[in-house]
């Protein structure tokens, strides 16, 4: 918040008001800035002079961010972890389980199963070659349809459940997803046929059913993890501003753990069932391996259904925002306005997800080719799984590093995605033009390093960021729908990679795929806003202005240039940014919310709303000034008054 020099002392005093210890009888004497600054100018986003972190000069911004993130918030979190650990050594693990593992359990289970499909395919080819390889007894179209039906089911789930999540509610979508995934896993475990071709057909349709549940996990997990930390109304929460990205990506990275444990389980089960990890493999061993590998996540998914049935407050943010907009059912008006006002964002979140999935799934599809290059004389399925385990382990480092830095205001979402896309572009374009050089035995380690680094930067970049921003840059009323749409377009990238890789050789893949990384970086740079450090309640404020047809009147930080895309700035959005005016508007809005709640209680409708109380000082202030009009200038107070408050409460 920009201020004149004469404003600095009052603002500084007001920030210091956060440490006041006052009795209720003294709150009436607090001037307005001392009442509202601790709420409207939180210390994690504003300096002592009331300047928003993104308005600070670069060196001061760096100093402010590093000081608060490391020496204030970092110290606080580590202190809490240490204090809890002294009481119970397992407390940090329990906290991590509740905050990341449980919210991301659905994605962990689907990651396990979906990547199991690719992992067991070489095993099927080794035992039933006439069906899965030469197609002598199986229809090649049905064998190839396995991947396409799986992706089709996911896309149906992403769009359908995304709409349901905004229409019926988050909890309904979460429970429904788990039930469908459980049903799909039971069918996959028991899949059979009177012939190999009949079994392939059954297997393909079971994957389609399972895929519907998987697709719904994307918008539901993202919105649930995101909204669990948000504030409602004018005032936001520190957890939302500082750790929203970490909350979502911590749940998302469970997908990586799912991939990891799938490889481990398959290796152990095959060793036990076959007596060896090397060929020949018996049909019985393969039957045991793939059915047990599906039965294990079925048990976990059944537990997930039970857990989600008892979740509470999952719809709180959605219900609050719908209530403020006086909407029941599905908010079609917001959907239309989203395409009108956030069309560039729709293009960015869907387009970059498409580009990323060409890389992400292309990387998985290309993995067998990579293994052939580095181990030309080894045809063991176990060898492929070992290299897959290495690749997933490298990816996990990227997942966790993304979670660690995605909320950092000096790096954040947008830079992370651009850097990740550009590294993937570079790491694929280099071997494209020197393929024989890097695939020769004497330079094979360089080829390995580039392939594994591409996996690392995919997770420490677009794969993590696209999952977050596809929900984050939209209002709550259409958040799940927008995320589902972006994810579904992304899956078209997976289909494109599968089709493309079927017709081109290994070197040509390196010629073609890098350009999707470059395209993703360009789309991110032009059309994607950077929401790092922006609280969602502020974004919802802007959205309410847009719904009321007064979008140009909003002048808060949601239209700060740092939180808008390059395209939006070209379109003139953000010119109205005015922190001083916005401060006054926020107080007016807080008063309006307080008055509305108080009137409902007086009318005997306490169940519909109650007086909003931010703290005792605000309550006393609104009680004292109840007769003043909501648009009255509540800002002007003399330096002497502020000084008096400081001297009284120091």
The residues, any chain, with a CB within 8 Å of residue 645's CB and separated by 6 or more, are 13, 17, 29, 30, 31, 34
C-alpha 474: how far from its chain's center?
Answer: 12
* Contact yes or no for 520/356 (Cβ under 8 A): yes
Report pLDDT digits (tens) over 321-335.
888 778 888 889 999
Helices then strands, each counted (H, E), the chain: 29, 0
Whether 313 and 455 share a structural domain: yes
**Cα gap 82→372, rounded to integer Å:** 48
In a domain, 57, yes or no: no
Q: How many other CB atoms are found less than 10 A from the CB of residue 503? A: 7
Write down the pLDDT at residue 15: 38
Are 512 and 612 in the same domain? no
3-class DSSP assignment, residue 46: strand
Q: What pLDDT score does 228 carry? A: 75
**Nearest in space to 406 (alpha carbons), one of 414, 396, 395:** 414
In a domain, 82, yes or no: no
**Rg value, the chain, Cα:** 27
Shared domain for 478 and 615, answered yes or no, is: no
The verdict on residue 546 lying in a domain is no
- 295 and 347 inside one domain: yes
Res 118: pLDDT: 82
pLDDT at residue 442 is higher than 90: no
270 and 142 housed in the same domain:
yes
Burial 66-77, CB ≥16 within 10 A → b, else e: eebbeeebeeee
- Judge contact between 476 and 318, C-beta under 8 A: yes
If asked whether residues 617 and 491 sit together in one domain, one would say: no
Kindly tell me if the per-residue pLDDT of 3 is higher than 90.
Answer: no
Q: Are residues 357 and 498 in the same domain?
A: yes
- CATH code, 195: 1.20.1250.20
pLDDT band at 26 (very low <50, low <70, confident <90, very high): very low
Beta bridge partners of residue 52, listed in sequence order: 46
> Are 53 and 76 spatial neighbours (Cβ–Cβ below 8 Å)?
no
Q: Is 477 exposed, middle or buried (0-12, 13-18, 19+ CB in 10 A)?
A: buried
CA-to-CA dists, residue 4 to 11, 211, 431, 580, 614, angstroms: 10, 58, 56, 11, 28
In this structure, the answer to whether residues 138 and 12 fall within a common structural domain is: no
Whether 566 maps to a domain, the answer reads no
Point out which residues pair with 46 in neighbouring strands.
52
The better pLDDT of the pair 84, 625 is held by 84
Residues 330 and 275 in one domain: yes
Check whether residue 396 and residue 448 sit in a common domain: yes
Regarding whether 300 and 205 lie in a shared domain, the answer is yes
Average pLDDT taken over every residue of the chain: 85
pLDDT in tens, 119-129: 888 889 889 99
Q: Quick check: 435 pLDDT over 80?
A: yes
Report in angstroms the alpha-carbon separations of 196 from 58, 129, 204: 65, 11, 12
For the cut 60, the answer to whether the pLDDT of residue 30 exceeds it is: no
In a domain, 137, yes or no: yes
Cβ contact 236:538 at 8 Å? yes
Asked whether residue 256 is domain-assigned, the answer is yes
Confidence category of residue 230, pLDDT binned at 50, 70, 90: low
State which of 483, 500, 527 marks the end of a domain.
527
User: What gap in Å lies between CA 78 and CA 88, rounded to an integer?
Assistant: 15
165 & 38 share domain: no
Distance (Å, whole) CA 242 – CA 536: 11
Residue 431 lies in a domain: yes
Average pLDDT of the residues in 272-300: 91
Last residue of some domain: 496, 527, 558?
527
The number of distinct structural domains making up the chain is 2
Give domain status of residue 378, yes or no: yes
Give every CB contact of residue 224 below 8 A, 6+ residues apart in sequence: 103, 170, 174, 314
What confidence score (pLDDT) does residue 41 get? 92
CB 152 within 8 A of CB 208: yes
What is the Cα–Cα distance from 226 to 108, expressed in whole angstroms?
Answer: 17
Structural domain of residue 334, as residue ranges? 96-228+240-527
Quick one: what percent of the chain has pLDDT higher than 90?
A: 58
């Amino acid at each position: 918040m920009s201020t004149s020099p004469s404003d600095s002392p009052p603002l500084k005093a007001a920030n210091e008001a956060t440490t006041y210890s006052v009795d209720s009888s003294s709150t009436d004497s607090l001037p307005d800035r001392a009442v509202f600054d601790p709420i409207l100018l939180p210390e994690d986003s504003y300096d002592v002079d009331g300047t928003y972190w993104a308005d600070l000069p670069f060196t001061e911004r760096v100093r402010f961010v590093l000081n608060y993130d490391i020496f204030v918030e970092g110290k606080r979190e580590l202190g809490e972890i240490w204090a809890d650990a002294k009481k119970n050594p397992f407390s940090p693990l329990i906290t991590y389980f509740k905050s990341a593992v449980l919210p991301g359990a659905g994605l962990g289970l689907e990651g396990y199963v979906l990547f199991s499909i690719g992992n067991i395919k070489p095993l099927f080819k080794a035992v039933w070659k006439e069906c899965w390889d030469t197609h002598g007894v199986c229809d090649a179209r049905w064998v190839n349809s396995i991947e396409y039906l799986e992706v089709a089911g996911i896309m149906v789930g992403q769009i359908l459940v995304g709409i349901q999540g905004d229409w019926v509610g988050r909890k309904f979508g979460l429970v429904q997803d788990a039930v469908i995934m459980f049903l799909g896993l039971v069918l996959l475990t028991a899949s059979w046929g009177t012939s190999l071709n009949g079994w392939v057909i059954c297997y393909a349709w079971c994957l389609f059913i399972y895929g519907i549940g998987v697709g719904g996990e994307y918008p539901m997990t993202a919105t649930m993890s995101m909204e669990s930390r948000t504030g409602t109304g004018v005032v936001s929460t520190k957890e939302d501003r500082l750790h929203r990205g970490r909350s979502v990506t911590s749940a998302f990275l469970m997908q990586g753990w799912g991939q990891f444990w799938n490889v481990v389980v398959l290796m152990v089960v095959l060793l036990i069932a076959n007596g060896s990890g090397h060929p020949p493999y018996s049909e019985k061993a393969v039957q045991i391996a793939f059915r047990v590998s599906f039965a294990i996540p079925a048990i976990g998914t059944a537990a997930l259904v039970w857990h989600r049935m008892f979740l509470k407050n999952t719809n709180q943010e959605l219900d609050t925002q719908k209530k403020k907009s006086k909407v029941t059912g599905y908010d079609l008006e917001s959907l239309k306005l989203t395409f009108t006002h956030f069309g560039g964002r729709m293009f960015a979140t869907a387009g970059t997800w498409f580009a990323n999935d060409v890389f992400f799934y292309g990387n998985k599809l290309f993995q067998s080719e990579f293994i052939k290059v580095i181990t030309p004389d080894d045809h063991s399925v176990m060898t492929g799984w070992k290299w897959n385990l290495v690749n997933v382990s490298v990816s996990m480092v990227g997942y966790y590093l993304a979670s660690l830095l995605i909320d950092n205001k000096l790096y954040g979402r947008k830079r992370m995605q651009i850097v990740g896309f550009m590294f993937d572009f570079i790491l694929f374009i280099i071997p494209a033009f020197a393929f024989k050089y890097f695939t020769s035995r004497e330079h094979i380690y360089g080829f390995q390093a580039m392939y594994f680094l591409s996996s690392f930067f995919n997770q420490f970049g677009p794969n993590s960021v696209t999952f977050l921003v596809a929900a984050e840059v939209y209002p709550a009323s259409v958040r799940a729908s927008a995320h589902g749409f972006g994810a579904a377009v992304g899956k078209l990238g997976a289909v494109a990679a599968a089709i493309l890789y079927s017709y081109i050789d290994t070197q040509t893949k390196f010629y073609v795929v890098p350009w999707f990384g470059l395209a993703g970086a360009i789309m991110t740079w032009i059309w994607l806003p950077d929401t790092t450090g922006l609280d969602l309640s502020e974004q919802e404020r802007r959205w309410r202005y847009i719904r009321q047809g007064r979008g140009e009147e909003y002048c808060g930080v949601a239209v700060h240039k740092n939180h808008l895309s390059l395209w939006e700035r070209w379109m003139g959005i953000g010119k109205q940014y005015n922190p001083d005016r916005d401060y006054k508007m926020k107080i007016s809005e807080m008063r309006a919310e307080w008055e509305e709640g108080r009137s409902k209680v007086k009318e005997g409708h306490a169940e519909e709303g109650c007086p909003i109380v931010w703290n005792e000082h605000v309550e006393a202030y609104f009680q004292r000034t109840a007769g003043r009009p909501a648009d009255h200038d509540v800002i002007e107070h003399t330096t002497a008054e502020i000084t008096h408050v400081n001297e009284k409460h120091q």
